[in-house]
Structure 1
Amino acid sequence: MVFKKLLGALGVGGPTVDTVLTTPVVQPGGVLHGQVNLTGGTVETDISGITVTLVARVEIEHEDGESSSVRPFARFSVTPPLHLAPGEQRSIPFAFPVPYETPVTTIAGQRLTGMALGVRTEVEISGALDKGDSDPLDVEPLPVQRRLLDAFLALGFRFRSADLEAGHIRGTGQSLPFYQEIEFSAAPQYAHACNSVEVTFLATEHRVEVILEADKRGGIFGHGGGDVINHHTVEHSAADQDLTGLVDSWVRQAL
């Protein structure tokens, strides 16, 4: 996976940068590997530093509607200041940990509709920061996250959409400035009681917080409806188990 850009800080004759991801698919908490390839232009260049940044498209709610914005959520320095001679070529490898709360973009190779994550290379030349185009990044779920998602599907839930919401979920250990919501249409056995279910994963090194939000249907006069939010915790070791019964109990508790 490559993107190539003429660094605008120097314009014509400036150096170019190629960023190559050798692990274009990662898991939360995994390691992103790649290299930044520099080729000097027609003039000498002093580069103050190179940074690789993970970015995501995030939905922001306003009083009059909703908008989206590209937000950085992890930044890593690739190299200290360096001097690049005309025509000189340099390859700078990097390996950085991906935050455990990094949202999932694909499940078994299938991309989740609505998700957009990328890797952006930032090169600082003469005090000016040049931001390269984002290179897409795919994130597969952790084994226990995959087990939980499989459980929802086994119960008859159907994936509807996924997005990232700006803000924090109260009462959780959330560290990123946004959270992911994976929405499912209600399975037939729950359809009389709810319209849909949204799932949020907040993973750490040892466990995963699961926030389950059920859109309950109201009674005959509309009473008792609305969103119900429950919090659960699952250890990574649960990836060795069938979690269908556990998820079923969560849904019934919420309803």
Structure 2
Amino acid sequence: MVFKKMLGAFGVGGPSVDTVLSNPSTRPGLVLGGQVNLTGGSHDVEIDHITVGLVARVEIDGAEEEYDALVEFHRIQVAGGLHLREGQQLSLPFQVAMPWETPVTDLYGQHLHGMTMGLRTEVAIRGAIDKGDLDPVYVHPLPVQERILEAFGRLGFGFKGADLERGHISGLHQNLPFYQEVEYYAAPQYAHDVNEVELTFVANEHGVDVVLEFDKRGGLFTGGHDSYGRYHAAHADADRVDWAAQVDTWVRQALDGYQSLHTGHGYA
């Protein structure tokens, strides 16, 4: 995707920007490359800086109600201290290292409903800042994440949606100010125990922590409650493990053991 627009903050005759990604599809831990193409307007300008930032739509609990907001979670400076002459054309390359915790937006060519992510270009000319339109970015899962997501499908869980929640998962090292929840309807073999399952990945260079939260059904004399499980999967095990069997084991352990009492899992 490409956006090209006059920089509205600088009025008629100002420069225009055209940001192009080499490939908008990427994975956590990889590099997203592209270039910012500037065209000078009808007069010379001094550019203080040009940055690009990764932004995502995050669900935020407000004082009155929940609302969504675009949150920038990683940015780099493309250039600074530029003198752009009238009509001059500049092409400025950049590379953005995708954080390991970057949430997944696409799986097998299908967009995950509820996910919005993109790259936003910011141009500052002597105190006036223009934030460009979003250039969509499509984040595909790491191999081990893909195998675990595949396993949920093979076990019969039905995909419901995905979103980003502001906050941190207690007990886990987390760099980003939000975490992703991938929501499933329970597979038939677990439906007598649970209504829905929420899956969260927190990745780093070694592997991923996998957090499962279950909305458990209530019994005749008991109310429903949430149950939790927390596990770890190494990147190196992506093709070494029967993930359907592993996920089944995780789910049954969490449902049988009511692991929230044991793992210290919670949201802060």
Deviation at 1:238, TM superposition (A): 1.4
8 Å CA contact 2:208–2:234 kept in 1: the answer is yes
- Letter paired with 1:30: L
The residue aligned with 2:166 is: 166
Structure 1: distance between partners of 2:6 and 2:62:
37
8 Å CA contact 1:194–1:215 kept in 2: the answer is yes
The residue aligned with 1:74 is: 74
8 Å CA contact 2:10–2:128 kept in 1: the answer is no
The residue aligned with 1:150 is: 150
The residue aligned with 1:229 is: 228
Structure 2: distance between partners of 1:206 and 1:3:
36
Structure 1 gaps of 5+ residues are none
The residue aligned with 1:5 is: 5
The 1:17/1:160 distance shift into structure 2, 3 A limit, reads same
The residue aligned with 1:108 is: 108
Instruction: Look up the SS of the partner of 2:10 in the other structure.
Output: coil
Identical counterparts, % of pairs: 58
Deviation at 1:10, TM superposition (A): 2.0
Instruction: Look up the SS of the partner of 2:96 in the other structure.
Output: strand
Structure 2: distance between partners of 1:38 and 1:138:
24
The residue aligned with 2:238 is: 239
The residue aligned with 1:211 is: 211
The residue aligned with 2:50 is: 50
The residue aligned with 2:131 is: 131
The 1:79/1:63 distance shift into structure 2, 3 A limit, reads closer
What RMSD, in angstroms, separates the aligned Cα atoms of the two structures? 1.0
- Give per-residue Cα distances to partners, 1:37-74, cap 9 Å, x unaligned: 00000000110110000000000123543111110000
8 Å CA contact 2:57–2:164 kept in 1: the answer is yes
8 Å CA contact 1:25–1:140 kept in 2: the answer is yes
Structure 1: distance between partners of 2:153 and 2:66:
29
8 Å CA contact 2:49–2:124 kept in 1: the answer is yes
Answering whether residue 197 of structure 2 is matched by residue 197 of structure 1, we say: yes
- Letter paired with 1:94: F
Structure 1: distance between partners of 2:209 and 2:234:
9
Structure 1: distance between partners of 2:15 and 2:193:
61
4+ runs deviating over 6 angstroms: none
Answering whether residue 120 of structure 2 is matched by residue 120 of structure 1, we say: yes
Structure 1: distance between partners of 2:6 and 2:68:
28
Structure 1: distance between partners of 2:40 and 2:177:
37
Structure 1: distance between partners of 2:148 and 2:179:
17
Matches within 5 A, 1:12-31: 12-31=12-31
Instruction: Look up the SS of the partner of 2:250 in the other structure.
Output: helix
- Letter paired with 2:235: H
Instruction: Report the more deviating stretch, 1-10 or 91-100.
Output: 1-10
Structure 2: distance between partners of 1:161 and 1:236:
25
Structure 2: distance between partners of 1:220 and 1:172:
36
Q: Report the TM-score, using the length of structure 2 for normalisation.
A: 0.93
8 Å CA contact 1:165–1:179 kept in 2: the answer is yes
Structure 2: distance between partners of 1:12 and 1:26:
36
Structure 2: distance between partners of 1:130 and 1:50:
10
Instruction: Look up the SS of the partner of 1:81 in the other structure.
Output: strand
Instruction: Look up the SS of the partner of 1:133 in the other structure.
Output: strand
Structure 2: distance between partners of 1:65 and 1:220:
33
Deviation at 1:9, TM superposition (A): 3.1
Instruction: Look up the SS of the partner of 1:254 in the other structure.
Output: helix
Structure 2: distance between partners of 1:61 and 1:162:
17
8 Å CA contact 1:43–1:85 kept in 2: the answer is yes
Q: Report the TM-score, using the length of structure 1 for normalisation.
A: 0.97
8 Å CA contact 1:113–1:162 kept in 2: the answer is yes
